[in-house]
Amino acid sequence: MSVLSSIIEGVLEDLESRKLSEAQLNELISSAPQVRDPLVSLRRNALSVIAEVKRSSPSKGALAEIPEPSTLAKKYESSGASVVSVLTEQRRFGGSLKDLHQVRNEIALPVLRKDFIVNEYLVKESRANGTDLLLLIVAALDDYQLRDFYTLAMELGMRVLVEVHDSAELDRALAINPEIIGVNSRNLKTLEIDLKNFDLLLPKIPKGIYRVAESGISESNQVKAAYQLGANAVLVGESLVKAGSPESLIADFLNVAAVN
């Protein structure tokens, strides 16, 4: 079993303990806060930062203690981040929907739910809990699921970040005409990082699609390289939660576009 398959198995097991009836879920959706458009926020800068609240990862284990996710999210917001990403997967990443709620209630920025969305319920659950931007991982879905979940998310008012890891996944992503594509340098089946993914895939994404470089980014020169390859934003988690001053690191990343 690959790492990705193992994570998905755990996600589905954990879902059973919190699953609501369809009527309850629809009621929550109807009373959820209005969506904050992430594309509007992201497009305000030549290069934007999606800053992530992330306690741990399958590859690195514990990264940082984050007792109050909203405190960290406020630092991200005040430093110029355009979107805050919140890990909600519990077993490998130490996240929860509670974290999502807390962050969404305490900041004015759009919030990305970072999780492994593999069924319709999880799409609806995301909107019910205030998600503005939803992650769909192409490697975790077949073509029918990818299209159906994307369509459902958009119908519910959310935007979708469609994540790819290789050329075949990019072709599958482009088939659904997405607004936003993220190129992940981490292979979720092996957890290996290869920043050459950015060189290979970012230039292949049509210019009308918003392009995000994900994973493996910790230094300004890496941000610069991704930007020059066509990235409109970088999604950064580990380096920010481990930084003594995430504010200064975000400022450094944002400055890349100003000097290039």
Cα dihedral value 115, 121, 124, 127, nearest 10: -30
215 in catalytic set? yes
Chain position carrying tokens 């879905």: 141
CA pair distance 254, 46, nearest whole angstrom? 9
Q: Which residue, 100, 95, 188, 84, is CA-closest to 137?
A: 188
Q: Does the active-site annotation cover 65? A: no
Closest CA to 159 of 82, 250, 215: 82
Catalytic residue among 79, 126, 215, 232: 215
Active site residue 106: no
Is 214 among the residues known to form the active site? yes
**From the candidates 48, 85, 184, 185, which is the catalytic residue?**
184
Per the residue annotation, which of 41, 48, 52, 169 is the catalytic one?
52
Q: Which residue among 77, 82, 114, 169 is the active-site one?
A: 114
**Residue 231 DSSP class:** -
Which sign, positive or negative, has the C-alpha torsion 252, 253, 256, 258? negative
- The greatest distance separating any two alpha carbons of the chain, rounded to the nearest whole angstrom, comes to 52
Residue 22 annotated in active site:
no
Catalytic residue (one of 77, 89, 125, 163): 163
| Catalytic residue (one of 77, 125, 214, 238) | 214
Positions annotated as catalytic residues are 52, 54, 114, 163, 184, 214-215
